[in-house]
Structure 1
Amino acid sequence: MTADPLSERPARVPRAGRNLPAAIGVGVLLLVVVGASLGYSAVPFVVFAAVAVGAALWELRTAFARRDIRIPIVPLLVGSTGIIVSSYVSGAEALMVAFLITVVGCVVWRLVDGGGPAAVRDSAATTFAVTYLPFMAGFVMLMLADPQGRVRVLLFILLAVANDVGGYVAGVLFGRHPLAPTVSPKKSWEGLAGSFVLAIVVGVVGATWGLDASPWLGVALGVVAPLTATVGDLAESLMKRDLELKDMGSLLPGHGGVLDRLDSMLLTAPFVYLILSVAV
């Protein structure tokens, strides 16, 4: 009896390299949670952001430990929460003060635990962690504190979704030319073009209907968001390559870890905040 040749064929691997049904399901669930928190009041979203950043910090700590880099997680989590809450409550000055206090507190905590070259290396990694995650997330809280804050944050999140969806669809359908083959082989120039198209559409609709602003503001947001998101995504890919990791975690099926979901948004937040602060 001969074997069925179809049963011996290897399973087809999706071109995007992810579990698409799981990614869609988790993505929709996250959007529902974000929408529900923003729809009720700003406070639930602040709590949600603090938890998400805390989870991402934990993933970063675990990843750094692969290279024997130790970052003090307790003061880091406490300081991260302080940065996010104070940014929303008291504004940009509080963001900077909380950031500096967190960096100093974490460095002192690490030095008390032991000095030497390892302490210098760990302190530098800790400063990077504070800057990369809670400090960047603080700009989302600054947006949220605006009178139109919930609309601004929702537009920011939808721009991130448009960047991912537009890039994914265009990359799968038309992707032929790698964007950065040595860093992220699955990213293509065609995918980046798709990110621009969908992000500009979302930006124009959000600016005109949500913020009652000029459609040119939406165009500016739609151009800037994919640029910064792509740089943020490629930067995390470089870090994962150096740490020999595929994903930063596994909390979000189809996406990887929380940090894998936040990487493109973190670098985008300050730019969206600045554009909206100047133009609206």
Structure 2
Amino acid sequence: MSEARRLAPAGHLPKPKNNPGRNLPVAIAVGAFLGALVLLAVWIGPAGWYPLVAAAVGVATWEVVSRLREHTYQIPLVPMIVLGQLMVWMSWPFDTRGLVAAYVTAVLVVMFGRLFYHGRTTPPQNYLRDTSMAIFVLTWIPMFASFAAMLSLISSDGVPGGLYIITFMLCVVASDTGGFIAGVMFGSHPMAPAVSPKKSWEGFAGSVVGGSVTGALTVSMLLQHEWWVGAVMGVGLVICATLGDLVESQFKRELGIKDMSTILPAHGGLMDRLDGMLPSAMVTWLVLSLLGG
């Protein structure tokens, strides 16, 4: 059999229906670097994981608030970053009680501070718009990220806390990878074309398969709990991650921007990578904290 004849079946492989939309070698290299940072932080424990999450919150808040300020939103940058850090760090010694207390404090600072943004003698302009957006940002970034930070505090007999973080990260990576491959190879039915034309039902199905299978395997093998709990957690994670992607897509669409920033080559901004991870951290923390007891 000739060499050409022997290699002919490869021609029957499905051809991608969509362009990946990024420089894959560079994107993979940046992703590997970020993955190494995560593994190092997990290995150190909360003393490594909390600073990493806090740094990500600070950068993401800077990106989002900066883009809003460029489009006439009057939102103070430094106070927003400080308030976000307060929320993350208060969740370490006081868990959800510290997070809620810091969040309420941040909301009050925003509500009252915006009244006097232009001084006592000048009436505030666009008060409702700017205050609502600032509270949205506080919820979207530091509050959701705090649940990711608190994953490092979960403890269970015989199960190191870092395995809960690894479970979360593996499910996120599997969801993203499954959705990306299925979307590029087979995506032809848009999920929400008015919000994100490139996101397809085929990609969502790939994410569900990747997230649920990985959730079942990691929860059963790493955390020593029933596989079906991990599968359910994986599906919930995928749903939250997908909706998070759509929220950021609409956010950028209304501002008329493509990426939040350009600090990550072939990825855009840090928030462009965290958009789905942040809301999915909440459902993951809820399930895994119940398992950890």
- TM, length-normalised to structure 2: 0.87
Instruction: Give the alignment of 1:24-35 within 5 angstroms.
Output: 24-35=28-39
1:135 maps to: 143
Instruction: Give the alignment of 1:129-168 within 5 angstroms.
Output: 129-147=137-155, 148-168=160-180
Answer with 153-162 or 104-113: which moved more: 104-113
SS, match of residue 17 in structure 1: coil
Contact persistence 2:175–2:211 (CA under 8 A): yes
Instruction: Give the alignment of 1:15-30 within 5 angstroms.
Output: 15-30=19-34
SS, match of residue 261 in structure 2: coil
1:69 maps to: 73
2:92 maps to: 88
Answer with 106-115 or 228-237: which moved more: 106-115
Distance in 2 between the 1:97 and 1:249 partners? Answer: 31
| Structure 1 gaps, min length 5 | 1-12
TM superposition shift of 1:217 = 1.3
Which of 109, 118, 138 is 2:126 aligned to? 118
Contact persistence 1:203–1:221 (CA under 8 A): yes
Distance in 2 between the 1:106 and 1:47 partners? Answer: 24
1:104 maps to: 108
SS, match of residue 28 in structure 1: helix
Distance in 2 between the 1:278 and 1:155 partners? Answer: 14
TM superposition shift of 1:189 = 1.2
2:4 maps to: none
Distance in 2 between the 1:258 and 1:47 partners? Answer: 16
Deviations along 1:208-254, one digit per CA (max 9) or x if unpaired, are 12111111111112211111100000011011100001111111112
Deviations along 1:61-82, one digit per CA (max 9) or x if unpaired, are 1211232002112221111111
**Moved beyond 6 Å, runs of 4+:** none
Distance in 2 between the 1:198 and 1:271 partners? Answer: 17
Contact persistence 1:155–1:206 (CA under 8 A): yes
Distance in 2 between the 1:183 and 1:121 partners? Answer: 21
TM superposition shift of 1:107 = 3.2
Distance in 1 between the 2:239 and 2:50 partners? Answer: 26
Percent identity between matched residues is: 38
1:9 maps to: none
TM superposition shift of 1:278 = 2.9
State the Cα RMSD in Å: 1.7
2:200 maps to: 188
Answer with 132-141 or 110-119: which moved more: 110-119
The amino acid that maps onto 2:38 is V
2:263 maps to: 251
| Structure 2 gaps, min length 5 | 1-16
Distance in 2 between the 1:96 and 1:175 partners? Answer: 40
Distance in 2 between the 1:108 and 1:123 partners? Answer: 9
2:14 maps to: none
Deviations along 1:71-122, one digit per CA (max 9) or x if unpaired, are 1122211111111111122111111001111122233333332242323322
Instruction: Give the alignment of 1:254-269 within 5 angstroms.
Output: 254-269=266-281
Distance in 1 between the 2:130 and 2:167 partners? Answer: 36
SS, match of residue 191 in structure 2: strand
- TM, length-normalised to structure 1: 0.91
SS, match of residue 15 in structure 1: coil
TM superposition shift of 1:14 = 6.7
Change (3 A) 1:14 1:254: farther
The amino acid that maps onto 1:94 is G
SS, match of residue 186 in structure 1: strand
Q: Does 1:230 pair with 2:238?
A: no
